[in-house]
Amino acid sequence: MDRLLVLVRHGQSDWNLKNLFTGWKDPDLTPKGIEEAREGGRKLKALGLSFDCAFTSALIRAQNTLKLFLEEIGQPNLPTIADQALNERDYGDLSGLNKDDARKKWGEEQVHVWRRSYDVSPPGGESLKDTVARTLPYYCQQILPRVLRAERVLVAAHGNSLRALVMVLDRLTPQTIPSMELATGVPLVYRLRADSTVESKEVLA
């Protein structure tokens, strides 16, 4: 059985380029982000991979990344489910602020804690722990059962919502997950065992 799960972080967004906290705000992809998504799709096609269904967030940068991937692999009409459970972490009051301006306002150390700690949330926003609590049940209830039925699943989402999944798949801890970086547009190809543990992982950088 081919229990295939591919995770991909959206291509560069307009606010990534401008160094802004994005969260649940909804900027689209830059030209570079569009090319990152197309290149990621071409890498999947080169491996001969196809899919039975796809999942994405409620945000346009992830949805358009998925659309570009599916165009490249020749499956533009693949059944797709969009859900805000897969949205990026909500940065609350930081959303829309330049990261350098935030450091000037609150201090380098405080902004670093908000960005890189596991369980400290920015004002009005979510911690990574909160994001895991939102994303992981959705994965367990909606995505994982399909993979275990040997459906081939593609997920296009965000740095922090995907960290929640990678944390479980790679058996990372609250101490190690905040420092793990996911590159934009780069597919992570997992094959799972029947007990949902990882048989193999390939990063198509």
Active-site amino acid positions: 10, 88
DSSP 144-162: HHHHHTT--EEEEE-HHHH
* Three-state secondary-structure class, residue 77: coil
47 φ/ψ angles, rounded to the nearest 5 degrees: -85, 0
* CA distances (Å), origin 180, targets 5, 22, 167, 170, 183: 19, 19, 9, 11, 10
Torsion of CA 136, 64, 36, 45, to 10 degrees: 80
Strand order in the sheet with 187-192: 80-82, 53-56, 153-157, 4-9, 187-192, 198-203
Do 185 and 31 meet the contact criterion of CB atoms below 8 Å apart? no
